[in-house]
Chain A
Amino acid sequence: MTEALATALALLVALDPKLVEIVQLSLRVSLSAVGIAALLGFPLGAAIAVGRFPGRRTVIVFLNALMGLPPVVVGLLVYLLLSRAGPLGDLGILFTPSAMVIAQTVLILPIIAALSRQAVEDAWHEYEEQLRSLGADRAGAAMTLLWDTRFSLLTTVLAGFGRAAAEVGAVMIVGGNIDGVTRVMTTTIALETSKGDLPLALGLGMILIAIVIAVNAAAYLTKELSQRRYG
């Protein structure tokens, strides 16, 4: 056990090329997914926040429920979409990083949309009269609110990233955990542990924990600083 830990630390210190490659792919996939989910999720959340349409409550409950989507189920659905016989089979991207990005985007889009809906709606309650008094229409108000809640939205992005970086089920199913192609931190940890090769698994585990802590610290500090700076 101590031996495994020592080897793991050696891998980290030496910046083992295999380990670096896996970390890079993980970051590339999860950051891409977060970027796409934010681009789609912010406008969606803001529209639901300030919009008035039939079934709005149902949509909100449904969206909140989707935050808890099990990654393996998302993986399965995206797998069915992208498999040879599936509706998007012709794209031929199953078992590629693109498929992993799609699966993680589906997984965290509800998180970012639901959390930004909440942030924008809280702001809307505070700002509504003032913005309407100035003559802003709903679309303009939504844009204004997105910008004004930018620090809260950053927190939602970080929450989405934490979820994406830590999940294993979705990327395992649609990526296939192919060595050098679709192997990311979480899938490697699962595989190496079952093979009994603990050092690499432990090393990646430490990096993953460090990333999750760093992300949460960044979220906390951003909120603190912005609160002090902008009120």
Chain B
Amino acid sequence: MSNGAILPLRLADVSFAVGGRSLIDRVSLEIGAGPSTIILGANGAGKSVLMRLMHGLLRPTSGRIDWNAPERQGAPRKQAMVFQRPVMLRRSAHANVAYALQIAGVPARQRAALVQEALESVGLVHLAHRPARVLSGGEQQRLALARAWALHPEVLFLDEPTASLDPSATREIESVIKAFDAAGTKVVMATHNLGQAQRLGDEILFLDQGRLVERAPVGQFFSKPQSAQAAAFIKGELPWT
């Protein structure tokens, strides 16, 4: 296990509470390399909070979160995250990706090639020199994917990346995510969209009120949900997929 890989990720009895209200309740799980993992659940089930805990943006109130190889302070991160609403800096699309590389300590002369490759992977080369914040929502989200993927992270967290996009932008984002998955990056994605979970997921983690209720391969989860909550969620959500 000393190959430097940060996976697997282990959560042991992780809870997170704000002001006495429990948002994540004693979640234990292990996430390994390979098939993509979808965190599924209704709004407020704790999907985003769970991802932020995994990614290190929040500290658990109790319990332990351990990566196989802990990240060193100051070293380039081997994990990246794309948020529901992309946050772009007031500079060009190209410079936004280059900025991520600069923070990761990539020498200036190596950045241009990596930025080019990342922009190609999301089909944004032609917009490289546009200011990032005037791009459309879908373009900004693809740029966020390029920025997250520029260093080929081992793990890519995606927090409802298409929740505020129209169907055609959603399709573009999904095809980019599939390509990253195929290239060997471990995809961990939160969504409440059942169709998207089926299109992109290999396994489902189902959350309900902060608890991990069910974990199953995609096919099995949708055909034979084991828990009453999951069955109700699938039944309730289907009309809108």
Contacts and interface: CB of A to CB of B under 8 A. Distances in A.
Interface in A12-57: none
Contacts of A144: 89, 99
Interface in B79-138: 80-81, 83, 87-91, 99-100, 103-104, 131-134
A231 interface: yes
Contacts of A130: 83, 87
A181 to B, nearest CB: 44
A111 B205 CA distance: 51
A128 to B, nearest CB: 9
A230 B103 contact: no
B205 to A, nearest CB: 21
Contacts of B81: 133
Interface in A157-182: none
B57 interface: yes
Interface in A125-150: 126-127, 129-130, 132-137, 140, 144, 147-148, 150
Contact of A230 (B52, B80, B100, B133): B133
B89 A135 contact: no
Contacts of A229: 131, 134
B83 A134 contact: no
Given A134-B103, A135-B104, A148-B89, A129 B83 contact: yes
Contacts of A132: 57
B211 interface: no
B78 to A, nearest CB: 10
B55 A133 contact: yes
A126 B88 CA distance: 10
A126 B133 CA distance: 13
Q: Which of A130, A137, A150 has the most CB of B within 10 A?
A: A130
B161 to A, nearest CB: 13
Contacts of B55: 133
Nearest to A126: B87
Nearest to B82: A133
Given A129-B57, A231-B134, A135 B103 contact: yes
B76 A135 contact: yes
B77 interface: yes
B87 A127 contact: yes
A225 B97 CA distance: 24
A230 B131 contact: yes
A19 B6 CA distance: 71
Given A229-B131, A230-B131, A230-B134, A133 B89 contact: no
B44 to A, nearest CB: 19
B147 to A, nearest CB: 8
B57 A134 contact: no
A22 B88 CA distance: 46
B80 A133 contact: yes
Contacts of A134: 77, 80, 99-100, 103-104, 147
Given A140-B103, A231-B134, A135 B90 contact: no
Contact of B90 (A129, A133, A140, A231): A231
A133 B77 CA distance: 9
Given A140-B103, A230-B133, A231-B131, A135 B87 contact: no
A139 to B, nearest CB: 12
Contacts of B103: 134-136, 140
Interface of B: 52, 55, 57, 74, 76-77, 80-81, 83, 87-91, 99-100, 103-104, 131-134, 147
23 contacts: A126-B87, A127-B87, A129-B83, A130-B83, A132-B57, A133-B77, A133-B81, A133-B83, A134-B99, A134-B147, A135-B76, A135-B77, A137-B74, A144-B99, A150-B90, A229-B131, A229-B134, A230-B90, A230-B91, A230-B133, A230-B134, A231-B132, A231-B134
Give the 9 A-B CB pairs with smallest separation, nearest first: A231-B133, A130-B87, A230-B90, A231-B134, A230-B131, A135-B77, A133-B81, A148-B90, A134-B103
Interface of A: 126-127, 129-130, 132-137, 140, 144, 147-148, 150-151, 226, 229-231
